[in-house]
Structure 1
Amino acid sequence: MSAVARVALVGPAHPYKGGGARHTTELAHRLRALGHPTTVESWRAQYPAALYPGRQTIDAPEGEPYPGTRHELAWYRPDGWWRTGRRLARDADLVVLTLFSPVQVPAYLGILAGVRSRRGARTRVVVLCHNVLPHERRAVDVSLVRALLRRVDAVVTHSPEQARLAEGLRGPGRRGVAVAEMPPHLPETGGASEPPPGERRHLLFLGIVRPYKGVDLLLEALAHGAPDDVALTVAGEFWGGTEELEALATRLGIADRVRLRDGYVPAGELPELFASADAVVLPYRTATATQNVWLAHEHGLPVVATRAGTLADHVRGGVDGVLCEPGDAADLARALGEFYAPGEPERLRAGVRPVDAEPYWRAYTGILLEA
């Protein structure tokens, strides 16, 4: 890669919502600030609605939009995939395909075919894996991702565990898998609200609610580990609806202590939501990387989390949070009881420090450009 590289990022950007769009946009800003001419190739239609039951777009951006963004890709226009690849082979030295779901792979294979079809092009293509494979996967997911990873020049993942998974899919003897720790890319919320002193007796789970996130385990732990005056808000999009969790809360006798707030939480509503809680709880069974630890710390909250994925790398047990084992409701109950020991919520809150994003981004962009 030359000292100055023309970079094209293929991934979601506003009006798409959530961490994926924020990451792509922030990465573009960072690369341009380093002197690399950068464009973003985004979507006008990223997923079929049947495959993504939640809300896909939002009206107000959650950070500064990137000016060099095109919205021409559509999941139902294969001809557009190939044309985009042809253009990128002419205009970019490095094409970065940001992989969130195997649903994207057919489009990415089309873009890759377009890049490779231009004779004499020296454009390198890297897959940046937010998830190598889904947490809840099908056989076809493995086949699709394997087909993509074996055709590109390099792969970047966000953890050693994900790198090993990518290496297995690339096949024996295939090198070119790098690890770059996910950097902070938090929504602009207008700053933390100043909470009143004392305990709220209230916990918060924030994010898309899917089985691997372990909210069912959190309800069991709340029933058996937290003091009986502690309440919980689960705020986010419920894939599959709220009925099963409502029924579980009723069976556990805690329905009056649990609020299920279904729907995407806009950035402007986050400060009030965080100010109402003593801690954010992340009861994940499995994880790759998440921004929710840093987001909680940005708003002054300690975190109770499992040791899944990279969560334990960002929570200092006994300093700004409490850690427990993934998939273990009893150990999560123990952690909640430990958190609510007398004086402990305020002591842990005092240990919280916002993350310094700069070192993460310096390392991340360096690894990506060298991949």
Structure 2
Amino acid sequence: MDIIFNPPENSENQYIRILVDQLRERGYQIHSLDNLLSAGRTHFRSIRLVHLNWFENVDDSSFLVALRSFMRKMVVLTVIRFSGKKLVWTMHNRASHEKKLSFFSRTLTWFLIRWSDRIIIHSRQTEYLIRAQYPSATQKMVYYPHPHFIGAYQQPESKSGENGTTLSLLFTGMVKPYKNLELLIRVVSEFKDTVHLTIAGRAVNPSYEQELRWLGSAASNISLVLKFVPDEELLELISACDALVLPYDMASSLNSGTVILAFSCKKTVICPEIGTITDLGERQDLTFHYRYKNPEEHANALRQQIKKAVRLKQENPNTFTRLGQQLYNYVQAENSPEKAGDLLDGTYRLLTESKK
């Protein structure tokens, strides 16, 4: 079956590669969305289904750029809708992380929810959100856990035991304002030499990079690696830390592939109670989780969880090895890529073989 899975590849996101590989193993021919309208009538007619990821995101670097991106995406959605092709959309976030021109993203989300034949969700929080805000879309939801990354990387041996009693924390991912890194730097700097933090990832723009470098320069216990981090280097950084710290914005975040990556590498996390965390159920206690309502509460809650982690590290450094192993065992059993591939395959076939 010829389908579009967008994006079909992403060198910085193994999630895409894992799912595309699963689909190809099941006989799907994967095509790029960019060629839907430009590759000719025969190609257009051959496409049975379109699956979109993060399609609601709009570049908000300027109004004209955002408007152009929005209009292009609306044309694509309209063509998909009125050509009768089946549309599947994965809802990754509660709302767009881009705040300046969020109207465009909200509008795209509105159309995606109404025009999608199925909405893929990776957390139960997403289900509750859709039920509350878009009750008519409830029947479209298909839940499966975010696939793990076990085997996607060549994992080095953990080196966290080499840190002595110092708690070693790592933030990794695209470095953007919604990830509350300014707050993280401020809180971690209070702990002096009992905590060391590494922030690794490419900054969204040079001005934000400079802002973080200025903030980090005042703290001797913070290292900044503000660049694209290749897989091999990323895994070395993860192996050297005790835990990943991910102070996400709860107003926009639902799922986190980085949390699943941490568990896949036998690491626990310090993280707000986003959907990926609450889906753990009673296993949430294997992580350092918290909730907040405003920036002040966030700083206090994050501070308390880091204090708890410092105390556990000083009492018994092996605690983090135990927590990481238990989380690894959980995602290995519950978040298999094969399960995700089977559910996607079943969803696609149900849609394309129906008379609707």
**Deviation of 1:108 (Å):** 5.2
Give unpaired runs (5+ residues) of structure 1: 1-5, 44-72, 74-79
Aligned to 2:289: 323
Aligned to 1:150: 114
**Deviation of 1:217 (Å):** 2.3
Contact kept? 2:130, 2:137, Cα under 8 Å: no
**Deviation of 1:221 (Å):** 2.3
1:332 partnered with 2:297? no
Aligned pairs (5 A) from 1:128-143: 128-131=90-93, 133-137=95-99, 138-143=102-107
**Deviation of 1:111 (Å):** 4.3
Pairing partner for 1:180 from 131, 144, 147:
144
Aligned to 1:70: none
Aligned to 1:212: 178
Pairing partner for 2:318 from 340, 346, 356:
346
Contact kept? 2:119, 2:140, Cα under 8 Å: yes
TM-score, with normalisation over the residues of structure 2? 0.75
Matched residue type, 2:199: V
Pairing partner for 1:203 from 156, 169, 187:
169
Alignment deviations for residues 24-54 of structure 1 (CA, whole Å, 9 cap, x no partner): 3322322343x4x2122236xxxxxxxxxxx
Aligned to 1:307: 273
- What count of residue pairs does the alignment treat as equivalent? 318
Contact kept? 1:89, 1:115, Cα under 8 Å: no
CA distance in 2: counterparts of 1:115 and 1:87, whole angstroms: 15
Pairing partner for 2:31 from 29, 32, 41:
41
Give unpaired runs (5+ residues) of structure 2: 59-68, 352-356
Matched residue type, 2:238: F
Identity of aligned residues (%): 24
1:174 and 1:280, CA in 2 relative to 1: closer, same or farther beyond 3 A?
A: closer
**Deviation of 1:269 (Å):** 0.7
1:126 and 1:305, CA in 2 relative to 1: closer, same or farther beyond 3 A?
A: same
Alignment deviations for residues 270-290 of structure 1 (CA, whole Å, 9 cap, x no partner): 232123322211111222211
Aligned to 1:47: none
**Deviation of 1:249 (Å):** 4.1
Aligned to 2:247: 283
1:255 partnered with 2:219? yes
Alignment deviations for residues 288-342 of structure 1 (CA, whole Å, 9 cap, x no partner): 21122232233333322221232343594554x3222245111111111111112
Please state which structure has a larger fraction of its residues in helix: 2
TM-score, with normalisation over the residues of structure 1? 0.72
1:96 partnered with 2:43? no
Aligned to 1:127: 89
1:10 partnered with 2:5? yes
Secondary structure of 1:23's partner? helix
Matched residue type, 1:364: A
Aligned to 1:364: 340
Contact kept? 1:231, 1:258, Cα under 8 Å: yes
| Higher relative contact order (Cα pairs below 8 Å, separated by 6+ residues) | 2
1:168 and 1:228, CA in 2 relative to 1: closer, same or farther beyond 3 A?
A: same
CA distance in 2: counterparts of 1:189 and 1:174, whole angstroms: 36
Secondary structure of 1:300's partner? coil
Matched residue type, 1:18: E
Matched residue type, 1:238: A
